[in-house]
Structure 1
Amino acid sequence: TLETAVVTEIPETPTVVATGPLTDGALAADIEKRCGTRLSFFDAAAPIVSFESLDKEKVFFAARYGRGDADYINCPMNKEEYENFYQALITAERAPLHDCDKDAFRVYEGCMPIEVLASRGMDTMRFGPMKPVGLTDPRTGHRPWAVVQLRRENQEGTMYNLVGFQTNLKFPEQKRVFSMIPGLEHAEFHRYGVMHRNSFLDSPRLLDADYHFRGQDGLYFAGQMTGVEGYMESAASGILAGKNLARRLQGKAPLILPRETMMGALAAYISSAPTENFQPMGANMGILPDLPERIRGKQEKYQAYADRGMAALEQYLRDAEQ
């Protein structure tokens, strides 16, 4: 039965909430109350590159002043490299903004696009996300003129985020300009940076891998608000959440797909991401477990991922019905 009405609070009956990233008003307040925290808002995300594609001869692991673990990968620049990068960045073509998104640039100062920050002056980035203080380039023994830092995005260390490089550049421009960063000349981008307004749950703290909300029996969340990014990903999460609610009512075990499948890997990511600053993730090969063998060709490697995922899914579904 289809009922069309305004929903202002989550019912106590078994429910799947799939209200999207623009959930607002009384319903958003109810969700926030149940979550014990406000919804996380963001208007920007930085690009993510694969660790395998980095030039290891040019980058180095280090923490500033040697404090703590060397969790960051550092891409050092000399003065000439920095100035060339700066000129390319401030003249790169940006993606057009919708009218409703334009205010985000004024409101969210902390998520300012890197190209907007750069336009404020030649050295602005060197005193911001590209500050080189506390770092020494092992190749030269000196502090670099500027540094781009990469932060591990997943537990396996196969994906790295460009720290502070949230951007509104067009995707081809991101590839062209960010490939000027030493060590990223041949970088494989798992996700390009995006600039838009959005909201999502702190899912690693709140959701299980079957999209069940840990704070209320029979309550599931699905779609982009869970931290999966993209149309196919959101639809698939809704299918899984719906099936898992039905299975719960039937007394069956939940469907938690294998990590070798894309939706299994995404479900694992949104329910157990190790990063403190949790951000949405779309389908990409970087979140899948590594293949047992090294395959050089990109097309052949991706086909191997797909074949392994299909085999794992078929076996899992056979076992789940027994």
Structure 2
Amino acid sequence: MSNEITIIGGGLAGCEAAWQAAERGVVVALHEMKPGKYSPAHHLPGLAELVCSNSLRGESLDNAVGLLKEELKRCGSLFMAAALATRVPAGGALAVDRQLFSSYITAKIAQHPLIRVVTGEVGEIPGKGIVIIASGPLTSERLAAGIATHTGSYLYFYDAIAPIVTAESIDFSKAFRASRYGKGEGDDYLNCPMDEATYRMFVAALVAGDKVAARDFEKVVHFEGCMPIEEMAERGPETLRFGPMKPVGLADPRSGAEPYAVVQLRQENREGTLFNLVGFQTKLTYPEQRRIFSMIPGLEQADFIRLGSMHRNTFINAPRLLLPTFQLQDTSRIFFAGQITGVEGYVESAGSGFLAGINGARLAQGLVPTVPPPATALGALVHHITNAEARHFQPMNVNYGLFPELAGKVKKKEKRARLAERALAELAAWQENIR
């Protein structure tokens, strides 16, 4: 094998893979089609663009994604370094200024002496050498056709992007600042309360609103973790009150009481000039978004600088195609990384890129690729996507339900802490093999 790796895709997974391989002394050619060509969801010219939410989800080890972030941080992840350097207030979550985040990673990649960034669309997989395909869930049609020669048929689902509004257009006399149960600084989120009558009118408008239709040949399959707001509303009039519009733990300081329902807005950038509507992914048409979301108290005059949109997310059938090292089962020089593997979420995508980069470098150096212990967050996720039932395989976020059981009896309230403790201990031992 040549001591050089070709990486296709400059998103979270591709950049993390490039960084890990280069840090281990391997030359990397990182291919990114921007700025010559953009996918339907990308707008920034830089690398590692966050196209959906700017939140990387919870930081606490009480949830598995918090543990995965801690694992990546301890292993020298570029993704985590960028996130910590560009974070914005978000209560118990880690959220970033997406433009600063992209700029941070773009600069780090450009400055690395062993990484060469090649701009332009890649239409086929190179016929020789080590290749990491990290082209993402919005892989271009040309490259998708090339990938299909190695993988066969694709699966797909739909993802939706939430709208963003300007802070100056929000009516702060109607909204109040608070984090659920007072987490974080206690005022990281902006909350737009609804009484029962307003809530019911809003739900009815969501259900009746005009939606963007899928193309005839595409079957609509939504990922549960990113369900469009109007799809949730159609499941029943109370569904949203137990989902993204849940008022529990959000007492209005002006009355001391919890609203009937609430729409949360999260700060989008460090300056606090932009806010996104938490959990409001949508496939409503643009005119309907402006009309219906303006029914939200405090957003009557909202200036929507980005409206929600719908896009096709493509992923391979990982249980049938991939080894736990992220190599193709029948072509070991080809790796996959990122959401195209069936991992779901920013952190999970970066984690898969981390492992693919390490293993690509090991292969280039004549070493045996490695797999993290299944008791770690990364290992549990890898084990799932490569061992799930192939017939019904769907994208998956990391969660404690994927972890091996603990030995002996453990009290329920102590279980997650014990799982995290075990994971970090096993991670430390594994790290000795990947330095």
1:228–1:282 CA contact under 8 A, matched in 2:
yes
- Alpha carbons of 1:215 and 1:7: their partners in 2 closer, same or farther (altered >3 Å)? same
- Provide the residue aligned with 1:303 in structure 2: 417
- The 3-state SS of whatever aligns with 2:412 is coil
- Provide the residue aligned with 2:149 in structure 1: 33
Report deviation, 1:316. 2.6
Report deviation, 1:315. 2.0
- Alpha carbons of 1:116 and 1:6: their partners in 2 closer, same or farther (altered >3 Å)? closer
Q: Decide which of 232, 243, 252 is 2:358's aligned counterpart.
A: 243
Q: Decide which of 148, 151, 172 is 2:244's aligned counterpart.
A: 172
- Provide the residue aligned with 2:377 in structure 1: 262
Q: Decide which of 3, 6, 16 is 2:132's aligned counterpart.
A: 16
- Provide the residue aligned with 1:314 in structure 2: 428
Q: How many residues align?
A: 215
Report deviation, 1:321. 6.5
- Provide the residue aligned with 1:285 in structure 2: 400
Once the two structures are superposed, what CA deviation does each residue of 1:26-77 show, in whole Å capped at 9, x if it has no partner? 101111121122x2112279xxxxxxxxxxxxxxxxxxxxxxxxxxxxxxxx
Report deviation, 1:273. 0.6
Report deviation, 1:2. 2.0
State how 1:1-322 maps to structure 2 within 5 Å: 1-12=116-127, 13-37=129-153, 39-43=154-158, 91=203, 102-104=212-214, 111=221, 171-173=243-245, 197-274=312-389, 276-292=391-407, 293-297=409-413, 300-318=414-432, 320=433
CA distance, structure 1, for counterparts of residue 133 and residue 391 of structure 2:
25
TM-score normalised to structure 2 length: 0.42
CA distance, structure 1, for counterparts of residue 385 and residue 316 of structure 2:
9
Once the two structures are superposed, what CA deviation does each residue of 1:226-252 show, in whole Å capped at 9, x if it has no partner? 011111111111111011011112221
Aligned-residue sequence identity (percent) comes to 38
CA distance, structure 2, for counterparts of residue 117 and residue 236 of structure 1:
29
Q: Which amino acid aligns with 2:148?
A: E
1:93–1:169 CA contact under 8 A, matched in 2:
no
Alignment RMSD? 4.2
Which sections of structure 1, spanning at least 5 residues, go unmatched? 46-87, 123-166, 177-191
Report deviation, 1:302. 1.8
CA distance, structure 2, for counterparts of residue 275 and residue 173 of structure 1:
34
CA distance, structure 1, for counterparts of residue 353 and residue 345 of structure 2:
12
CA distance, structure 2, for counterparts of residue 313 and residue 246 of structure 1:
19
- Alpha carbons of 1:36 and 1:232: their partners in 2 closer, same or farther (altered >3 Å)? same
- Provide the residue aligned with 1:126 in structure 2: none
Report deviation, 1:15. 0.7
TM-score normalised to structure 1 length: 0.56
Once the two structures are superposed, what CA deviation does each residue of 1:145-168 show, in whole Å capped at 9, x if it has no partner? xxxxxxxxxxxxxxxxxxxxxx99
1:9–1:26 CA contact under 8 A, matched in 2:
yes
